[in-house]
A = this chain, B = another copy of it.
Amino acid sequence: MIEQLKHHIERFVPMDEDTFLNVQAGFQQQSFRKKENILTEGQICKMHYFVLKGILRKFFVNDKGVEQTTEFAIENWWMTDSFSFMNRTPASFCIQAVETAEVLAIRRDDFDSLLEAVPAMEKYFRCVFQKAYAAAQMRIRYHYEHSREALYHHFRESQPEFLQRVPQYLIASYLGFTPEYLSEIRRKSIS
């Protein structure tokens, strides 16, 4: 399954078999059960995860005790608590498997060693973060621009795969709805 990471890297930089052996050495494959907690707010996030199969979600618990989902990662996406991973500070987010998941995980020290040993990975991660940052800027625009109902329709059109795979209460949590409000919007859009 590690070939999947090689294919993803090759979207951005050429990667021969020998170099990839070096890359591969830094990763460990991990499996998570549905709803298994991978990171809890306040812990140091020691890993950067590449999703091979399944879905992870990132969330925080708001002051009413409600889990607020801020991000999903499906196959070929990276997920971590970025500041916690970079600065070895307590995490601001929790990470959980939405469904059974297989990931490749890399520790912070191995991440640094990998970038040192394989300069092509600097380019790869520069591209990954540049794209993720661009997407976050667009997302901030959507949050300003659209009503929450329009956000649901935008999400439904742009990410139909998520809507089929992710339970409704998590979609509601991501969009900042109550599950009841989401049901109401869905009823309206079907009728």
A residues bordering B, Cβ < 8 Å?
Answer: 60, 62-63, 68, 70-71, 82-83, 86, 92-93, 115, 119, 122-123, 125-126, 129-134, 136-141, 143-145, 176
Contact = CB atoms under 8 A, between A and B. Distances in A.
B122 A82 contact: no
Copies of this protein chain in the complex: 2
30 contacts: A60-B141, A70-B140, A70-B141, A71-B137, A71-B140, A82-B134, A82-B137, A83-B134, A86-B131, A92-B138, A92-B141, A93-B137, A115-B126, A119-B122, A122-B122, A122-B123, A123-B126, A125-B126, A126-B126, A129-B130, A129-B132, A129-B133, A132-B133, A133-B133, A133-B136, A136-B136, A136-B140, A139-B140, A140-B140, A143-B143
Classify the interface of chain A: helix, strand, loop or mixed.
Answer: helix
Contacts of A60: 141, 144-145
Nearest to A115: B123
Query: Which of A115, A119, A137, A143 has most B Cβ within 10 Å?
Result: A137
Given A119-B122, A122-B119, A86 B130 contact: yes
